[in-house]
Chain A
Amino acid sequence: MSVYTLQKLLRDVNRIPERRAAYFGSPAKFAEGYDLTGRERDALLAFDVRALYDMGVHGLILRPFTILHKMSDPDYVKVLRGEQP
């Protein structure tokens, strides 16, 4: 069920303006409101896109989340394909 919660968190950031503001205000504090595993929390707080993807986050949740982080399309593709750390 954990990836479910992680995806729920990311989706909330993507679609609810107040949640988005809270996340960008303090990602660590925001994450406390969700029952994440340690691995998930670490990947989120490190903005480790590849790890989030490998955990099973849906592409159409992850890509909008990375757009909010101003990650370009080419950079996103490179990260997913392991061509960039």
Chain B
Amino acid sequence: MRRGSIVRITIYGVIAGALASLVAVVVPWLPTSASEEMDRITFVFWFTTVICIGIFAIVMAVIAYSILKFRAEPDDERDGPPVHGHTGLEIVWTAIPTVLVTAIAIVSAVVLAKNDDVGNNPLRIAVTAQQFAWKFEYPGPDKVTSGELVLPLNKPVKLTLHSLDVIHSFWVPQFGQKSDAVPGIETTLTITPTKLGSYSLVCTELCGLGHATMRAPVSVVSQADYEAYLKQEASGGDAPGGSNDPAAVFTSAGCGGCHTFAPAGTDAQVGPDLNQLASDAQAAGEPVEDYIRQSIVDPNAKIAAGYQAGVMPTAYAKSLTADQIDALVQYLVKGQK
């Protein structure tokens, strides 16, 4: 290999590396971090990116150089030199990648250990997932539950995840951390929020037809606001936004993800139109209140014309309290014309 070709291929490599670095810098690859864990994930991400850009640049430089330099004329029928290999070179390109991936693995393992470490006194919040809604149960004497995840700033949180039906997955992009909620086992997740603000929790494991709509609001607030939130939730059972407020239950249980219901302002068309329940009940030959209650706790018992059994989640009898179901039934009855 002559000196001139080394210089040229180096130039190609630098150009390829610069272009790749430009793409890496200009494009907003990661969401703005809002947790200590995401800060560390961001670090591993860029550590890996630097190594990968190096490898990418070398491969691209060799391809580009070969195409430009070694391209044969169309009528050139000669062969290249009969080189069968080079043991030294083969050892080099076995050893160097081994070292690089080992380095990435070590950094990753250290970060993983730190991201799993929740400290001695975390805030413990129980997360329950079901098709297609999230429920959060906060610690404290009042056992507050809500459909919104509110976290105090800079306090390590240990989430314990459960699922009532199929597998779901908890992800807030800005927090980085993700874990499936699996029926039958408990999984955990550690998050230490570092930035005030509102975020969105999305389900990332395909869980049925409402999967895309299975989201929940998340906010990070000051410790004082967090305590105020819990107090308000605890006292305001029947008040607007409280745990028995039927409009809030309708929203947090995810009804609007599949159903149209004018009072709640939803227009999804996966399941039957809830404004028409009176006529559906008539068709089923049942009093409207009984029909609605049965359809919530045992949705496959009666199926409205034009819809399939086995589609609506069956876990509401478990996930909603008797008071909440009563309130929801009344809310839906009132919504009939």
Q: Does A pair with B?
A: no
> Footprint of B on A, CB under 8 Å?
none
